[in-house]
C-alpha cells in the first residue's frame, strides 16, 4: 500500500496511503505538514480491529478527497456487509468526516478506532531519522486529544476534536457504534495545527489569509486563478487534461511566506513545500505567458533575500540568490543551514534571466528599475565568487562540507555528475548548462542596461563578456570526436564526458554555436537519450545509467520543457514537437498530473510511462511543463509591443487554440494546426 494520496492548501498539506492512513516511515513519508513540521505522524482507521482496503479514491480536487473502503481482507470485497467513506478537506486545518454504512438487514455493532500521533518532526529529521530534542506532551480531554511540543521558543501544537462521543486515550479515539439495518453513522474529526509565536498566538493569524480558510474560500481562490489563465481549446485530450490539472496544481501550490506574508510558489509535495530559488525561477518562466501576476512576488522575495556577506555555514556570498528557505526546527536552531541556504550555482544567473523575460512579456519597467541593484549584484557574482578558479567559468564547491550540498546544479544528487565510465570528478565542478545560464544572463542584463537602466557602457561590457564566454565555452566544452558538449569540467579543466540532457539547456541559453546545434539536436532525439516519452537525464550507454535513478536515467518533464524550448530557439521545430508529444502522452498515465520524474524505460518496451517510486507530485515545475510546451508548439515570442505567433503543432494533435494570452500587448489569441504527413518541415 505504497501509493501516495495528497491534499494541499499552500501552507498545509497531508499525504497518506491509498487507505487514507498515516504511519511513520522514512521511505514513504506520510503526515499532516505545515511550514516544515509534521503535525500528524499517525492517523490509522480500523473497524473491529481490522485495517481497511480501498475500493476507490476520488482525488480530482487538490484540497479535498474521498476514500471508499471496506474492512477486512480483499476476499470480503465480493459481499461486504459494511463499508466506510472517509471524506477529507484541508484549509490550514484538516477535517475528516467518517461515514460507516451497514449493508446488512440486521442491527450491527462496530468498534471504530482512529489511532493518532504527532511527532512534530522537521522534514530534515524525517529524512535523517533524527531524534527530537524538545519535550512532547499528550493530553486527552473532553471530546479532544491535544499534542504539544516545546523546545525553548519553538512551540507547536496539534488538537484533534470529535463531534461524536468517544473513549479518548493518549494514542487515539475509540467509537462504539450501533447501526440499524442499512443504517449509517457519521462523525467529523477536526484537526487544528498551531504555530506559536513569541506572543503566544498562532503566527499565521497575522498573515493576510489567516491560519485557516473555509473550503468555499479556497475553491473560490483556485477558480479565480484558473479563470485568469488563457482559455485552451484543442483536439488533443492529453494536452487539455494536463493544462487544466496544471493550472489547478499551480493555484494550490501557492503559499504565504511567514516572513513577509506574500504569496509564493512552493516547489513540490511532500519534501519541497517552500521557496526554492532555482525551482521557483524555472516555474515562473514556464507560467509567464499564462499567469504573469504570479511572478513578481517570487522575483521580489528572491531579491530581498539576496546574499550580502560571506557565510560558510549557509554557502552565502554577496550577490548570490538563495537555494532554499525553511521554517522548521532544525533551521531555526541552525542544525541545518536553510534559513535561508544559498547552495545553488544556477539560481543567481537564472534570476537575471527571469527578470528580463518578465519585462519582455509584461513591459513592467518599474519592477526592473526597482531591482536594478540586485540584478547587478547577481551579474557581479558570476564573475567574482562564481568564478572560483579564475578561468572565466562558473564553478561550485560548498563552503560547508558537513551539511552543504555537494552538487549545486539542478541535478543535485550525489552521483548526478560523472564521467562516461561512471567515475565521479572532484570539486570544484563547472557544469555545462551553468555556463549557458551565465551567458544568457549577461546578454539579458545587457538588454536591460541599454533599454531600462540607461547604462550603454555597462551593456557593451556585458555583451563583450558574453561573446568571450561563448567563444571560450565552445572551445573547451565541445568534444569534437563525439559531437556533443561535456557535462562539466573537472578541477583540472578536463571534460567530464558523460552524455546527458544538460546539453538541451545549452540550446535554450543560446550559447551553442550554430554549426554545433544540429549534432546536439541529433543526440537529444537519438536512441541513447530519447526514450520515446522524453529525453533521459543520462544516456543509456553511460556508466551510471539507471532508468529509475534519480538524475541518472529518469525523464524529468521540466527538463524536457526547456529542452523543447531550446530546440525551438535553434529552429528544430519537429524535434521540439516530438518531445512535446512524448511528454503529453506520458501525462495520460499520471491522470494528467506530470510527476517530478518518471522512469527512463524505452517507450516501446513498456507501452506506458512507469512511475518513479518517490517522485514529488504535484511539483511546480512539472505542473508548469504543459504550459511551456504550449508556448513552444504555438511559437509564442514577445517582440517589443507585439506577440509573435509562429505555430508548429506536432502531427496528430489537430487544432490548438489559446485565447486571451496576457502581456504588454493586452490580450491576444493564438491558433495552430498540426501538419499532416508529407508536409514540409519548417526550419528557421
Both 179 and 248 in one domain: the answer is no
Q: CB–CB of 87/96 below 8 Å?
A: yes
| Domain membership flag for residue 96 | yes
For position 647, what pLDDT does the model report?
Answer: 97
pLDDT of 655 over the 80 cut: yes
| Domain membership flag for residue 218 | no
Both 200 and 261 in one domain: the answer is no
Residues in CB range of 612: below 8 A, 6 or more apart? 548, 550, 554, 595, 596, 597, 598, 599
State the Cα angle at 269 between 264 and 273, rounded to 5°.
35
Q: How far apart are the first and last CA of the chain?
A: 50
Q: Mind giving me the DSSP string for 612-665?
A: PTT--SSBHHHHTHHHHHHHHHHTEEEETTEEEE---BPTT--EEEEEEEEETT
| Domain membership flag for residue 547 | yes
For residue 406, the surrounding DSSP H or E stretch is none
Residue 399 CB burial class (10 angstroms; 0-12, 13-18, ≥19)? middle
Question: Domains in the chain: how many in total?
Answer: 2
| pLDDT mean over 310-326 | 96
| Domain membership flag for residue 683 | no
Instruction: Tell me the three cell numbers of residue 650.
Output: 506536432
Q: Which of these three, 149, 181, 213, is where a domain ends?
A: 213
For position 684, what pLDDT does the model report?
Answer: 40
Instruction: Tell me the three cell numbers of residue 592.
Output: 494528467
pLDDT of 259 over the 70 cut: no
Report the distance separating Cα 607 and Cα 590, nearest Å: 14
Both 377 and 336 in one domain: the answer is yes
Give the pLDDT band of residue 681 (cuts 50, 70, 90). Answer: very low
Q: CB–CB of 71/52 below 8 Å?
A: yes
| Domain membership flag for residue 36 | yes
| pLDDT mean over 581-587 | 97
Query: By C-alpha distance, which of 338, 334, 278 is closest to 556?
Result: 278
Both 137 and 25 in one domain: the answer is yes
Q: CB–CB of 64/215 below 8 Å?
A: yes
- Domain CATH for 90: 2.70.98.40
Query: By C-alpha distance, which of 359, 364, 487 is closest to 420?
Result: 487
For position 551, what pLDDT does the model report?
Answer: 97
Both 274 and 423 in one domain: the answer is yes
Give the pLDDT band of residue 680 (cuts 50, 70, 90). Answer: low
Both 667 and 591 in one domain: the answer is yes
Report the distance separating Cα 561 and Cα 539, nearest Å: 18
Query: Sign of the C-alpha dihedral, residues 571, 577, 578, 584?
Result: positive
Both 167 and 50 in one domain: the answer is yes
Query: By C-alpha distance, which of 404, 332, 328 is closest to 122?
Result: 328
User: 537529444: which residue's cell?
Assistant: 524
Both 388 and 266 in one domain: the answer is yes
Both 417 and 477 in one domain: the answer is yes
- Number of Cβ within 10 Å of residue 201's Cβ equals 13
Average model confidence (pLDDT) across the chain: 92
Its domain, for residue 430, covers: 229-673
For position 264, what pLDDT does the model report?
Answer: 84
User: 564573475: which residue's cell?
Assistant: 383
Both 36 and 84 in one domain: the answer is yes
For position 528, what pLDDT does the model report?
Answer: 98
Report the distance separating Cα 314 and Cα 328, nearest Å: 16
- Domain CATH for 659: 1.50.10.10
| Domain membership flag for residue 367 | yes
| Domain membership flag for residue 408 | yes
Could you report the per-residue pLDDT of 24-56, keeping only the tens digit for each? 876 667 999 988 899 999 999 999 999 999 999
Q: Which of these three, 213, 247, 278, is where a domain ends?
A: 213
Length of the chain equals 684
pTM exceeds cut of 0.75: yes
Report the distance separating Cα 386 and Cα 349, nearest Å: 10
Q: Which of these three, 213, 240, 261, is where a domain ends?
A: 213
Q: CB–CB of 274/325 below 8 Å?
A: yes
Report the distance separating Cα 324 and Cα 322, nearest Å: 6
pLDDT of 65 over the 90 cut: yes
pLDDT of 677 over the 70 cut: no
Give the pLDDT band of residue 388 (cuts 50, 70, 90). Answer: very high
Rg from Cα positions in the chain: 26
Both 418 and 454 in one domain: the answer is yes
Both 456 and 546 in one domain: the answer is yes
| Domain membership flag for residue 628 | yes
Could you report the per-residue pLDDT of 604-639, keeping only the tens digit for each? 998 889 988 878 888 999 999 999 999 999 999 999
Q: Out of 23-32, 79-88, 176-185, 646-655, which region has the weakest mean confidence (pLDDT)?
A: 23-32
Instruction: Tell me the three cell numbers of residue 487.
Output: 557535462
| pLDDT mean over 89-114 | 93
Going by the DSSP 8-state scheme, the letter that residue 316 receives in this structure is: B
Amino acid at each position: 500500500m505504497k501509493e501516495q494520496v495528497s491534499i494541499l492548501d499552500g501552507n498545509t498539506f497531508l499525504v497518506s496511503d491509498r487507505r487514507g492512513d498515516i504511519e511513520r516511515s522514512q521511505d514513504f513519508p506520510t503526515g499532516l505538514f505545515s511550514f516544515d513540521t509534521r503535525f500528524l505522524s499517525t492517523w490509522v482507521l480500523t473497524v473491529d480491529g481490522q485495517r481497511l482496503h480501498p475500493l476507490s479514491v476520488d482525488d480530482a480536487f487538490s484540497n479535498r478527497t474521498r476514500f471508499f473502503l471496506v474492512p477486512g481482507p480483499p476476499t470480503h470485497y465480493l459481499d461486504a456487509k459494511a463499508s466506510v467513506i472517509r471524506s477529507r478537506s484541508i484549509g490550514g486545518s484538516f477535517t475528516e468526516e467518517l461515514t460507516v454504512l451497514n449493508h446488512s438487514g440486521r442491527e450491527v455493532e462496530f468498534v471504530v478506532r482512529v489511532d493518532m500521533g504527532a511527532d512534530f518532526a522537521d522534514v530534515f529529521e524525517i529524512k535523517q531519522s533524527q531524534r527530537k530534542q524538545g519535550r512532547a506532551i499528550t493530553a486527552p480531554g473532553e471530546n479532544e486529544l491535544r499534542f504539544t511540543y516545546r523546545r525553548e521558543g519553538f512551540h507547536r501544537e496539534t488538537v484533534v476534536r470529535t463531534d461524536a462521543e468517544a473513549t479518548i486515550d493518549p494514542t487515539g479515539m475509540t467509537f462504539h457504534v450501533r447501526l440499524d439495518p442499512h443504517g449509517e453513522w457519521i462523525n467529523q474529526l477536526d484537526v487544528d495545527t498551531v504555530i506559536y509565536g513569541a506572543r503566544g498566538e498562532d503566527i499565521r493569524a497575522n498573515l493576510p489569509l489567516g491560519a485557516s480558510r473555509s473550503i468555499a474560500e479556497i475553491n473560490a481562490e483556485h477558480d479565480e486563478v484558473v479563470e485568469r489563465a488563457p482559455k485552451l481549446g484543442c483536439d488533443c485530450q492529453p494536452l487539455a487534461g494536463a493544462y487544466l490539472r496544471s493550472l489547478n496544481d499551480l493555484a494550490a501550490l501557492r503559499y504565504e511566506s511567514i516572513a513577509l506574508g506574500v504569496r509564493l510558489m512552493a516547489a513540490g509535495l511532500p519534501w519541497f513545500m517552500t521557496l526554492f530559488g532555482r525551482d521557483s525561477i524555472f516555474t515562473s518562466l514556464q507560467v509567464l505567458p499564462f499567469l504573469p501576476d504570479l511572478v513578481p512576488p517570487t522575483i521580489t522575495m528572491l531579491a530581498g533575500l539576496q546574499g550580502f556577506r560571506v557565510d560558510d555555514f549557509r554557502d552565502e556570498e554577496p550577490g548570490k540568490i538563495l537555494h532554499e528557505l525553511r521554517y522548521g526546527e532544525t533551521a531555526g536552531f541552525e542544525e541545518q543551514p536553510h534559513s535561508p541556504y544559498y547552495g545553488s550555482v544556477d539560481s543567481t544567473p537564472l534570476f537575471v534571466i527571469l527578470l528580463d523575460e518578465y519585462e519582455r512579456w509584461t513591459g513592467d519597467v518599474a519592477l526592473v528599475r526597482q531591482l536594478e541593484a540586485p540584478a547587478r549584484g547577481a551579474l557581479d557574482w558570476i564573475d567574482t565568487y562564481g568564478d572560483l578558479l579564475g578561468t572565466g567559468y562558473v564553478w561550485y564547491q560548498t563552503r560547508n562540507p558537513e551539511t552543504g550540498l555537494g552538487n549545486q546544479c539542478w541535478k543535485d544528487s550525489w552521483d548526478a555528475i560523472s564521467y562516461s565510465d561512471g567515475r565521479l570528478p572532484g570539486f570544484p565542478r563547472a557544469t555545462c548548462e551553468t555556463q549557458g545560464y551565465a551567458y544568457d544572463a549577461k546578454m539579458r542584463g545587457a538588454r536591460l542596461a541599454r533599454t531600462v537602466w540607461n547604462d550603454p557602457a555597462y551593456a557593451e561590457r556585458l555583451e563583450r563578456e558574453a561573446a568571450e564566454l561563448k567563444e571560450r565555452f565552445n572551445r573547451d566544452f565541445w568534444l569534437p570526436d563525439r559531437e556533443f558538449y561535456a557535462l562539466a569540467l573537472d578541477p583540472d579543466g578536463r571534460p567530464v564526458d558523460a552524455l546527458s540532457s544538460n546539453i538541451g539547456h545549452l540550446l535554450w541559453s543560446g550559447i551553442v554555436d550554430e554549426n554545433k546545434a544540429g549534432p546536439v539536436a541529433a543526440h537529444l532525439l537519438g536512441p541513447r537519450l530519447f526514450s520515446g516519452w522524453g529525453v533521459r537525464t543520462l544516456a543509456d550507454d553511460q556508466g551510471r545509467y539507471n532508468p529509475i535513478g534519480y538524475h541518472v536515467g529518469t525523464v524529468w518533464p521540466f527538463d524536457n520543457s526547456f529542452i523543447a524550448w531550446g530546440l525551438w530557439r535553434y529552429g528544430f521545430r519537429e524535434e521540439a514537437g516530438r518531445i512535446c508529444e512524448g511528454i503529453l502522452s506520458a501525462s495520460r498515465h499520471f491522470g494528467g498530473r506530470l510527476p517530478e520524474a518518471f522512469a527512463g524505460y524505452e517507450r516501446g518496451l513498456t507501452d506506458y510511462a512507469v512511475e518513479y517510486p518517490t517522485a514529488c507530485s504535484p511539483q511546480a515545475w512539472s505542473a508548469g511543463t504543459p504550459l511551456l510546451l504550449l508556448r513552444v508548439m504555438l511559437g509564442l515570442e514577445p517582440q517589443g509591443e507585439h506577440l509573435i505567433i509562429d505555430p508548429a503543432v506536432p502531427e496528430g494533435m489537430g487544432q490548438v487554440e489559446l485565447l486571451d494570452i496576457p502581456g504588454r500587448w493586452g490580450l491576444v489569441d493564438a491558433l495552430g494546426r498540426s501538419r499532416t504527413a508529407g508536409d514540409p518541415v519548417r526550419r528557421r
